[in-house]
Structures are given as C-alpha cells and as structure tokens.
Amino acid sequence: MTVTINSAVKATVYIAFIFSTSAANAQAPALADAAGSYRIASSSSIRFSVGQVGGGGGIAGRFAKFSGGFRIDGGNIERSSVEFTLYPESVRASERRVEDFLRSSAVFDAANFQTVTFRSTRVRQTGPATATIEGALTARGKTRKERFAVTLIDWNRRSISFTIRGSIRRSPYGMDVGTPIYSNVVEFDMRIIGQRR
Amino acid sequence: MLRNSETRFGLVTIVLHWTIGLLILGLLLLGFIMRRTGIDPALQFALYQWHKSFGFAALGLALIRAIWWLVERTPSPPASVSPLERKAARLTHDTLIVLAIVVPFAGWAVASASTLNIPSFFFNMIVIPHLPLARSETSENFWTFAHALLAYVTLALVAIHAAAALFHHFKRGDEVLTRMLRPGVRPVGAGSGGTSARKRDDAAVERK
C-alpha cells in the first residue's frame, strides 16, 4: 500500500505543488486521505462517440442527467467500488433528430428503459494513477460485463476527479441499429468528479 | 439481338428499360413508406439506406441508359402512330430519360446537404462521397422538396407512359408494347428475320 501511496503522490505531484504554495508547511496529500465515499457531482461529463464509415464526424453526444457514487478503500484500492446510473432521456447530440433517434426504440428505448446502470465488480490498479474497473452494465434490460479504464486526474480533501474511458460494443444490448455505417463500438469518455459525502 | 434495329429494340435497351422502371417504382414505394409518420425508427433508418443504395444503382443505370440512347439508334414508332402521338411520345421518353438521372441526383443532394451527414454506404460495400454542397437545414429542406416533387412528376409520367403502352397494345393492337418485351430481329421482309419475330408480326397483323 505504501508503494501505491507513493506512486499516486508522484502522479499528482503538480497538485501537491499547488497545495504546498498555498500552505507551505502542509504535508503533500496522501491517497489515504482520498479514501471514503463520494457522490458523483453533476459537474461531471459523460461523453460518447460512435465512429462512422469512411471517417469524419460520426455521432457524438453526452448525457446531461446521471447519478451515482463510489467508495475508495484506503486500505486496498482493489476493494473500492462504484455504482452509476445515467438517464438516456437526457441525451444531448448535435441536433434534435439525433437525440430523438437515440431516445427512440431504435437505440436506448428510453420510454421503456429509463436508466442505464453500471455496478463495479472488480477494481484493479494498473499504474500509479490508473486502474481498470470491471462491472455489470445494464442497458435495455440486458446486463453484461464491461471494463473501463480510469485515470486519476486531480484530488483534494473534498473532491476527486478521474477520466474514465471505455469501448462498449452496442450490439449485445440490442442497439446495433445503423451498423455498419456507424461503428458497433461506442467510445465513452467521461470526466467524473466525486464530492466527498 | 443486343442492338436496336430500325423498328425493334435490342436486349440492351429492353433490360435497361425494365430494370430502371422496376427500380423507379420500387424507389417511389420505398420513399413513400420511409417517410410515413409513426414508422419504427430503426426500420426507417434501414429503409433510408436501402433507398439510397437502390437510388445510386438507378442513377448508374440511368446514366448508362442515357448514353445508350444517345449513341444507339431509336427504332421508329409503328406506322399507325400519328405525328402528334410521335411528338408526345418523344417528349415523354426524353423527359423520363432526363428525370431518371435528375431525381437520383436530387436525392444524392439531400444526403449531401443534410446536417445529419450520414454516409452513403452503397449496399454496405463502398462509401459514395457526398456532393460538394454546404450542409444546412435550409439546403436539406430544399433538396428534399425538389427530390420529392421531381419523383412525383416522374411517377405521373410513368403512369402516362404505361397507360399509353397499354392503350397501344389493347386498343390499337400494335407492337408498341410487345417490342419492349422481347428483343426483335429485323422485321419481316428485311432478309434475316427469325421465325419468332415473324410469328409476332403475324399476330400483330391478325389483331388488326
């Protein structure tokens, strides 16, 4: 665990530097300080994109409404957990027609499936500031194991932020409309900000 | 057999004629269904892509048809056709040949000008690039309107064209329709006339 703490501190040394300028004699923050429960703040962003044949453009959007929380286990990072819910009705895209299509029975079927949920089952640290999270993703009533890559970006006593990326195949969820013009793979690019509970 | 003669259509013209004709009718039907409100969105998306693929196929064949029409002779109408009818037929045929090219182009313009920027993936095989048009809602709406309007004009002309062919076949009893059904060789008396052509000509005479 000491190794973990040291590496995390190295990865966030610039943050420590900012801290030290404001409180010269304060100690650099340790990841152990980050242990605890967090609520996912609404200032987080959940972006996604789907490539299209021939390159260029594709579908890009974000979700405006989501909720969730996570717990960082100070003693063992791998015992940390996250649960997350997003509301497909809140999808935002380049134009109304695209949003309506994404909400429709062709994609999220938001009328019948109001939420998409993720519940972690396994967290594995892969580097000083990186981890992979495995868990159960449920969309359109189908649940599958998916994996996301997490990178620690920033943290302080009250909040912590990560980028979370993942490539999710949509066909197993019955959302393969538009393939092969549009890629079967949805790239998620999320910036998750956790506020300490 | 492949080429047109003075009075007969060859196989090339006949195959192009019926293939393009079927494509046009199919595309009109597809276009009508896919624009219906309340259609399942996934089905609608799929139908649009089929419409685009078949539309490009129609455009390609219509271009070949137009070139063939320019380089190949056009058989003269049967003697029973009056000069006024000849003019009307000529105008209808010329317009149909032009519309078979213009309508798909207008459709291509819709896909190109649309802010949705959906690629045209010809039968999921090759990406056909968009026409160099600015993408905007106004432009998309204009081309959508033009495409639909021209398509309905085409449908009206096809109806007139088909009605005229049926009129010639059932009322006049001439070979206007039948010569677009089977490739003919030279007519009777032209030297190398085959028996099948001879029989058809005899039948036409008998009906009269």
Average pLDDT over residues A53-57: 85
Please tell me the predicted confidence (pLDDT) of residue A32: 62
Of the pLDDT bands very low, low, confident and very high (cuts 50, 70, 90), residue B185 is low
Phi/psi for B67 (5° steps) reads -65, -45
B45 vs A57: CB contact, 8 Å cut-off? no
Domain ranges of chain A: 31-196
A97 vs B116: CB contact, 8 Å cut-off? yes
Contact B169, B176 (CB under 8 A): yes
pLDDT digits (tens, 9 = 90+) for B93-121: 999 999 999 999 999 999 999 999 999 99
Contacts from A54-60 at CB under 8 Å and sequence distance 24+? A54/B119, A54/B121, A54/B127, A54/B129, A56/B117, A57/B117, A58/A182, A58/A183, A59/A93, A59/A94, A59/A98, A59/A102, A59/A182, A60/A93, A60/A94
| Structural class in CATH, domain A31-196 | mainly beta
**Parallel/antiparallel/unpaired status of strands A116-125 and A81-86:** antiparallel
SS3 A90: helix
Please tell me the predicted confidence (pLDDT) of residue A22: 39
Task: Choose between A54 and B203: higher pLDDT.
Answer: A54
SS3 B79: coil
Percent of chain A with pLDDT over 90: 74
Between CA B201 and CA B207 the distance in angstroms is 10
pLDDT tops 80 at residue B190: no
SS3 B208: coil
Whether this model's ipTM surpasses 0.95 comes out as no
Pairs across A and B, CB distance < 8 A: 39
Which helix (H) or strand (E) is B51 found in, with range? Answer: helix B41-71
B118, B120, B128, B136: which to substitute to probe chain A, counting the most A Cβ within 10 Å?
B118
Strands (E), chain B: 120-122, 126-128
pLDDT digits (tens, 9 = 90+) for A153-193: 999 889 999 999 999 999 999 999 999 999 999 999 999 99
Contact A155, A32 (CB under 8 A): no
B121 vs A53: CB contact, 8 Å cut-off? yes
DSSP states of B54-66 as a string?
A: HHHHHHHHHHHHH
Which chain B residue has its CA at the smallest distance from A104's CA? Answer: B41
Which chain B residue has its CA at the smallest distance from A175's CA? Answer: B42
Average pLDDT over residues B22-42: 96
B171 DSSP assignment: I
pLDDT digits (tens, 9 = 90+) for B57-68: 999 999 999 999
pLDDT digits (tens, 9 = 90+) for B114-161: 999 999 999 999 999 999 999 999 999 999 999 999 999 999 999 999
Residues of chain B with Cβ-Cβ distance to A53 below 8 Å are 119, 121, 127
pLDDT tops 60 at residue A2: no
pLDDT tops 60 at residue A1: no
Which chain A residue has its CA at the smallest distance from B128's CA? Answer: A54
Please tell me the predicted confidence (pLDDT) of residue B114: 97
Which chain A residue has its CA at the smallest distance from B129's CA? Answer: A54
Contact B162, B170 (CB under 8 A): no
B119 vs A52: CB contact, 8 Å cut-off? yes
